[in-house]
Amino acid sequence: MALHKDIKDLKIALISPRAVASKNMIRRVQPPLGLCCIAAGLRAEGYKNILVYDTLIEDYDDVRDLDSGSDMISYGASNEKIENKMKEFKPDIVGVSSLFSSQVSQAYEVAKTIKNYNKKTIVVFGGIHASDKSEEVLNDEKNVDFIMRGEGDYTWSTLIQNLFLEEGKLSEVPGLVQRDGKNFIKNPMAPLIHDMDALPIPAWDMVPMEKYFEIAMYHNPYVKSGRVGCIMTSRGCPDRCYFCASTVFFGHKFRQMSPERVGEMVDYLVEKFKIKELQIEDDNFAVNPVRVNKICDRIKHHKLRITMPNAMRADTPLNREKRLDMYKNMKEAGWDQIGLGVESGDQKFVNEVVGKRLNLEEVTATCDLAHKAGLLVHTNFMMGFPFETKKSRDLTIDFAMKLDSDSYSLSLATPLPGTKMWDIVEKNNLFHESYNFDTGLPTLVSIKPHDISDVELKNLVENTNKKLNFKASQKRQAVRDKYKLLKSSVHGDRKYMDPSSASIEIDKEIIPMTKVLSNEGTHGTENRGVARPEVAEKDKN
C-alpha cells in the first residue's frame, strides 16, 4: 500500500469495545492499559496522530440488554457514537482490543462500524482473545483485516511501516495473521518483552482520566478516593493453573520492572494526575519478595492507599518470618488488603488438577500473618470445574468457612481459550448448552456439571458466597468499614448480588442483607453499578 504522506502523520485509532456483563455484575471501568501501552510505544516512535477511544468511558451509562430476555447486558458507546468519532478523526488504521473472550461480539460490532464508515480503513484486532482465536475471528468477521498476536507495545510500528510503505512486506510483521484464500498465513510471534524497564510509561494522558476518577468503578471498586492509578509492574507468572489465560499469553517467565521504574511510574501518576490510590494489577505480584520490599521503600512516601485486585500466592516467601516482614512493609507502604488465589479447598485437586502446587496450610498461616501486619485478606475460590465432585465442593466450602479470610470470591469456573481447562471441556464436550463467548463470565455456569444440576450449582455458589462474606463481615469492624466504601454493592469483592436476592439463609433463618450490614450505612443497591458522585465530591475536599 503506497503512502503519500509522512508515515508519522498517519491517523491511528485504538479502540476498546463495549463490555459484556451479567446484570448482577458491577460495571467496571478503568483505563485500557494495553491500549495505553501501545499508544505510548507509537508515540515514542514519533507517531503524532493517535486516538485512544475507550467506548466504556465514552458512554458508561449506555447500558443495553444483550438479547431480549437474557440476563446479559453490554455497556459503552453505541455504534453510532463510534462512527461519529471516526468521521471526526478519520483514521487510516484502527486497532481494536479483543482482550476478553466475553467481549468479542462487541469487538465485531466495532469492526462493522469502522467499515461502515469507510471500507478502506484498515481494521486490526489484537489482545488475548484475538491472539488465541485468530483464525476463528478472521472466519467469523469479514470486517477484520488482520490480527496481531502477542504483546503490542513495539510491534505496531513494524506493522505500520510494512503496511503503508511501498517496500513493506507483511511477512516481516511479527505475530501478523492474514487470510490467504480459505487458509491463513500466520507469522511467527515476536519474542516476549524482557526489558520491562524500557517500556515507555503508558499513555494515560491520552484517555480522559478525570472521567474514570469520577465514576470510580475500578477492578477493586472499594476505594476511598476516586483518584486511582491502575498499574502493572510485571508480566508472566511461574504458576501453571490450568484455567488461566493470562499465562497462555504472557508466559511463565516472571518479567519484572525494577523497583526504581515502578517508583518512576508512580511518581508520574501522583504528579500528573494527583492519584491517591494505587491498584496493582499484576497476576502474581510477590513472586520476587526482595523486589516487593524495595518497591515498598520506594513508594511509601506518597502515602497512597494500595490494593491488589488480583491474587498473589499465599506461600511467598516460603519462610513465614520473612513473609510477615514483607506484609509489614506492605502495610507501612500503604497496602490495605492483599488477595490470595486459593482456587479450591481440596488439596489433592489443587495439586493434581489445578496445577498450583500450593499447600493449603500456608493459606491458613498467611491469613494470620497478614492480620498481624494489619492487612485485610481477600481469598479467591472457584467451583464448577470439569468433572468436579460433591466431595471436592464440600472440601472447598469447609476450608473456606474455617479460614479467617476477610472477604471471599467464589466464582464459577469459566473455560478460557488456550487453557488446558478449555481443552478438557472441548474434548469431553462439556460446554454448557447456553455457553457462548458472551456468556463466559464467572457468574454463569459455562461447564456442564458432573453430579449436580446447573441451577443447583449456580445457587450453591451464590449462597456460599453470601454465607462466607456474611461470616467474615461479622468478625472485623475493618471489613464492615470496607463495605461502606461501595454503597451500591451488597457484599463480597467481586460478587455483586441483585438486590432482590439480597438475603442469606443461615440455619434456616432468612436474613436480609440490610440486616447483615445493619447500622453500617448500607443504602439501596443498584444492580448495574452507579457512578459515584460521593467519591468524586470527597476528592474535591
Q: Does 289 bind ligand B12 (CB under 6 A)?
A: no
471 CA to centre of own chain: 27
Q: Does 247 bind ligand SF4 (CB under 6 A)?
A: yes
> What is the rounded CA–CA span in Å between residue 444 and residue 96?
26
Among 153, 346, 454, 462, binds ligand B12 (CB under 6 A): 153
Q: Count interface residues toward ligand B12 (CB under 6 A).
A: 42
What is the residue whose three cell numbers read 481440596?
346
Query: What is the DSSP annotation of 328-359?
Result: HHHHHHTB-EEEEEEE-S-HHHIIIII-----
Identify whether the C-beta of residue 316 lies closer than 8 Å to the C-beta of residue 289. yes
Q: Which residues pair with 16 in a beta bridge?
A: 54
* Cβ nearer to ligand B12, comparing 57 with 395: 57
Sign of CA dihedral 192, 237, 231, 310: positive
> What is the rounded CA–CA span in Å between residue 235 and residue 287?
11
> What is the rounded CA–CA span in Å between residue 491 and residue 409?
10
Stretch that binds ligand B12, among 109-117, 150-158, 513-521, 529-537 (CB under 6 A): 150-158
Among 83, 283, 336, 406, binds ligand SF4 (CB under 6 A): 283
> What is the rounded CA–CA span in Å between residue 319 and residue 370?
14
* Cβ nearer to ligand SF4, comparing 48 with 240: 240
Q: Does 282 bind ligand SF4 (CB under 6 A)?
A: no
User: Cα–Cα distances in Å, from 291 out to 193, 295, 372?
Assistant: 19, 6, 22
Among 109, 141, 151, 346, binds ligand B12 (CB under 6 A): 151
What is the residue whose three cell numbers read 433463618?
509
> What is the rounded CA–CA span in Å between residue 285 and residue 186?
33
* Cβ nearer to ligand B12, comparing 126 with 492: 126
Q: Which residues pair with 510 in a beta bridge?
A: 505
79-89 helix and 104-117 helix, angle to the nearest 10 degrees:
50
Q: Does 145 bind ligand SF4 (CB under 6 A)?
A: no
Among 76, 91, 95, 415, binds ligand B12 (CB under 6 A): 95
* Cβ nearer to ligand SF4, comparing 125 with 249: 249
Q: Does 310 bind ligand B12 (CB under 6 A)?
A: yes
Q: Does 101 bind ligand SF4 (CB under 6 A)?
A: no
Q: Does 66 bind ligand B12 (CB under 6 A)?
A: no
41 binds, among ligand SF4, ligand B12, none (CB under 5 to 8 A by kind): none
Stretch that binds ligand B12, among 32-40, 110-118, 179-187, 266-274 (CB under 6 A): 32-40
Q: Does 20 bind ligand B12 (CB under 6 A)?
A: yes
> What is the rounded CA–CA span in Å between residue 14 and residue 89?
12
CB of 409 to ligand SF4, least distance (A): 13
| Per-residue contact string for residues 442-481; x = within reach of ligand B12 by CB under 6 A | x---------------------------------------
* Cβ nearer to ligand SF4, comparing 151 with 239: 239
Among 91, 226, 341, 384, binds ligand SF4 (CB under 6 A): 341
Cβ atoms within 10 A of the Cβ of 422, count? 22
> What is the rounded CA–CA span in Å between residue 51 and residue 61?
22
Q: Does 176 bind ligand B12 (CB under 6 A)?
A: no
Among 159, 206, 244, 292, binds ligand SF4 (CB under 6 A): 244
Alpha-helical segments (H) within 62-154: 79-89, 104-117, 128-132, 134-140
The cell for 360 is 493449603
38 binds, among ligand B12, ligand SF4, none (CB under 5 to 8 A by kind): ligand B12
Q: Does 246 bind ligand SF4 (CB under 6 A)?
A: yes
Residue 414, C-beta contacts closer than 8 angstroms, at least 6 positions apart: 243, 440, 441, 442, 444, 446, 447
Q: Which residues pair with 94 in a beta bridge?
A: 13, 123
* Cβ nearer to ligand B12, comparing 310 with 527: 310
Q: Which residues here bind ligand SF4, judged by CB under 6 A? A: 237, 239-241, 244, 246-247, 283-284, 341
Q: Which residues here bind ligand B12, judged by CB under 6 A? A: 19-21, 28, 30, 32-35, 37-38, 95-97, 99-103, 124-129, 148, 151-153, 219, 232, 244-246, 250, 281, 283, 310, 416-417, 441-442
